Amino acid sequence: MTERAVRAAELRRQIAHHNERYHVLDSPEIADADYDLLVRELLKLETDHPELALADSPTSQVGAAPLSATFAPVIHRVPMTSLDNAMDETELAQWGDRVSRGLAGVTARFVCELKIDGLAMSLRYEQGKFVQAATRGDGRVGEDVTANVATIASLPKRLPRGAPEVVEVRGEVYMPITSFEALNERAALAGQPRFANPRNAGAGSLRQKDPRVTATRELSFWCYQLGEVIGGPEFTSHHETLEFLGELGFPVNPEIRVVDDVAGVFDFAGHWQEHRHTLPYEIDGVVAKVDELEQRLRLGFTSRAPRWAIAFKFPPEERTTILRDIQVSVGRTGRTTPFAVLDPVFVGGSTVRMATLHNEDQVRVKDVRPGDTVIVRKAGDVIPEVVGPVLSLRPEGSEPWQFPKICPCPLATELVRPQGEADTRCVEPACPFQRDQRVIYFASRGAMDIEGLGERTVFQLSDAGLIDDPADIYTLTAEQLLGLEGFARISADKLLASIEGSKTRPLPKLLTALGIKGLGPSASESLSLAFGTLDSILAADEAALATTEGVGPVIAGSICRWSAIDANRTFVEKLRRAGVDFGRVEVSRLAPVLAGKAVVVTGTLEKYSREEAELAIKARGGKSPASVSAKTFAVVVGDTPGASKITKAQELGVPILDDAAFEELLTTGSLPE
């Protein structure tokens, strides 16, 4: 047997195994993206070497045979086929070309739908009454889950008068994100394992032997296709069938669109790839279907999928990989965070080598261990996290991971977990890990916003003995920076200019940068407006601080404890000697002319930076949100504004103001005549 034949046989074995885990047992061992890679590798082998293709290959089958011992089998009168996938725009364009050739060059319109990450389901109604629900199974035979599907509140139990004698509806059962989160919260309180994702949770809910349990899971349904219909109207297009299903009372997804060409499919896919996380349910792609039913007949089917439809898959947000080790990082407040060291895996648009495990309790609840195969999730810009282990692949002899008792820093201080808190901390102020993280936080965008002073540079400065606290960055010289790896004269001068520029950041930025526990940007803005200078804030008593809007006794107490520590007072004086501005915001005694009004600022104004303009609005009782909505009173536009904000304001009819109009608004609270 050739090497290619051996690989093809191994791929068929793996795919069959994972088909059973996914479609039958609802306990997948790998993420969808990893499964897709196996199928695509086998398909390429069979395409390039036809002698390797077998009649019963997984590439020509749908799903897996049902687990008949658990639920009664149901034969689908109209087969439930799968869909071919396009992983990028090139493959989507190639599918569009195949459709065009199949129609002899005739242009096709397409219906674009969201690809719901759920469980395919067929619902059968006879004489207007719901009589059966069946899973897809292997496409020909599924499983009877009627009693469980009957608990889904959004599905009609009876159809309106005049409904077809028989109507079969295809769609996706899914678990809304809020229901999934509530389910996992209940599981955590009960000390039970958490579900990895809404899809697995929804599938598991449908396999409950007791429908009363399924009813508590709050499942939902979107329909997307007609199956068998007897006594129904004649249709010429797919979108007409969807409108008909909506008239019968079935939930039809509101985001479905009809487009004129493949370019329209591109646009639809691009929009939802960017906005997928604005939905209250999970999607993993979009589906494009030829709209005209007669054209579908001409295009026909392959052995497993229609030629007239395709699923455009988004980049994977979940993958499986090996967890090699669990280590602990120490933050600026001494908080220790466990993180997973992983075999590199491409997920969420980037290669992930480490992922957060949050805290000791989360490690215990998830029960992840070194050597485990784990599910890693990265959604957009969200920090990668380990969702949980694949228990069926856990190595024999594996032991639960124990949280360390000693800080990993050179001082090897004992770690402490205060009673009633979820976090374990290093309480040694001299801990070098805390020092480095304080500098990184001080320079971060939400604080002093020092471009070029990132984690790598801070570690270099620390290792060279050039900094002991954030104030030391203001004493750095070009010669010192040139002694560090990667620095040339231009980059050194650029960093020094950025450090110098940070001295004039608005007071809320400086206050946030101090890193006082619990004190974030919002409370810092309120304190700056109320007290005017850093000295006034640090000198105020706890009662005075606590009365400031958005502060309260917890943050007030934290500020007072911080300012009472000698090392912190020394740090503040070092900042003063370096020339850092301690207060350019006047105490707010201005009339609240903008009370209750939301004014969005975009770009840089002549007299104000964006941050200063926002503070001026808030000093007069207004709000300055980051985005434009129908509730926005006005949008102030300076140099290099955000185009999307201007466009949104124009769409909503929100007034757009220049520098002069903004000054009048601050004075009168009214829009210029």
pLDDT averaged per 10 residues in sequence order, the chain, 673 residues = 81 80 68 76 79 71 53 88 87 93 92 93 95 90 91 91 94 92 84 78 84 88 94 94 94 94 92 87 93 95 88 85 94 89 86 89 89 85 82 90 91 87 84 92 93 93 92 96 92 96 93 92 88 93 90 93 92 96 66 88 83 83 85 89 80 89 90 81
Q: CA nearest 325: which of 381, 362, 363, 378?
A: 363
Quick: pLDDT tens for 135-180: 988 888 889 999 999 999 899 989 999 899 999 999 999 999 999 9
Q: CA nearest 313: which of 290, 289, 284, 288?
A: 284
Write the DSSP assignment of 425-485 as a string of letters: EE--TT-HHHHHHHHHHHHSTTTT--TT--HHHHHHHHHTT--SSGGGGGG--HHHHHTST
Would you say 142 and 73 are in contact if contact means Cβ atoms under 8 Å apart?
yes
Instruction: Choose, from 44, 115, 494, 607, the residue flagged as catalytic.
Output: 115
Q: What is the pLDDT of residue 587?
A: 47
Would you say 79 and 252 are in contact if contact means Cβ atoms under 8 Å apart?
no
* 617-632 b/e (C-beta count within 10 Å ≥ 16 → b): bbbbbbbbeeebeeeb
Distances, alpha carbon 641 to alpha carbons 112, 656, 658, in Å: 33, 12, 11
Q: What is the DSSP letter of 372?
A: -
- How far is the C-alpha of 504 from the C-alpha of 319, rounded, in Å? 45
Q: What is the pLDDT of residue 25?
A: 63
The reply to whether 3-60 and 85-313 are identical in fold is no
Tokens of 210: 């007791």
Q: Name 354's bridge partners.
A: 341
Quick: pLDDT tens for 66-80: 554 568 889 999 888
- How far is the C-alpha of 518 from the C-alpha of 552, rounded, in Å? 11
Q: CA nearest 72: which of 169, 142, 13, 18?
A: 142
Task: Look at domain 432-504 and name its CATH class.
Answer: mainly alpha
Q: What is the dihedral sign for C-alpha 534, 540, 544, 550?
A: positive
Angle at 116 between CA 343 and CA 320, to 5 degrees: 10
Residue with tokens 């009363």: 212
Residue type, 478: A
Q: What is the DSSP letter of 52?
A: G
Domain ranges of the chain: 3-60, 85-313, 318-390, 432-504, 507-577, 598-668
Would you say 197 and 131 are in contact if contact means Cβ atoms under 8 Å apart?
no
The dihedral over CA atoms of 159, 160, 166, 170, expressed in degrees to the nearest 10, equals -50
- How far is the C-alpha of 440 from the C-alpha of 329, rounded, in Å? 14
Q: What is the pLDDT of residue 26?
A: 60
Contacts of 501 (CB under 8 A, 6+ apart): none
| Backbone Cα Rg of the chain | 30
- Give me the architecture of the 85-313 domain, per CATH: 2-Layer Sandwich (3.30)
Distances, alpha carbon 57 to alpha carbons 12, 39, 42, 66, 174, in Å: 7, 10, 9, 18, 29
Would you say 219 and 179 are in contact if contact means Cβ atoms under 8 Å apart?
yes
Distances, alpha carbon 118 to alpha carbons 283, 311, 522, in Å: 8, 14, 39
Contacts of 91 (CB under 8 A, 6+ apart): 85
Distances, alpha carbon 657 to alpha carbons 87, 283, 376, 576, 605, in Å: 44, 39, 46, 37, 11
The angle that helices 566-577 and 552-563 make with each other, rounded to 10 degrees, is 80
- Give me the architecture of the 507-577 domain, per CATH: Orthogonal Bundle (1.10)
CA 523 to centroid of chain Cα atoms: 27
Domain 3-60 = CATH 1.10.10.60: no
Indicate the fold that domain 318-390 takes in CATH: OB fold (Dihydrolipoamide Acetyltransferase, E2P) (2.40.50)
Q: What is the pLDDT of residue 64?
A: 53
CATH homologous superfamily of 598-668 equals: BRCT domain (3.40.50.10190)
Does the active-site annotation cover 607?
no
Residue with tokens 């001068």: 493
Q: Is 606 left (phi over 0), alpha (psi -120 to 50) or beta?
A: alpha
Q: What is the pLDDT of residue 374?
A: 93
Q: Name 170's bridge partners.
A: 122, 225
Q: What is the pLDDT of residue 193?
A: 72
Q: Find the distance separating the first CA and the last CA of the chain, reported in whole Å.
A: 86
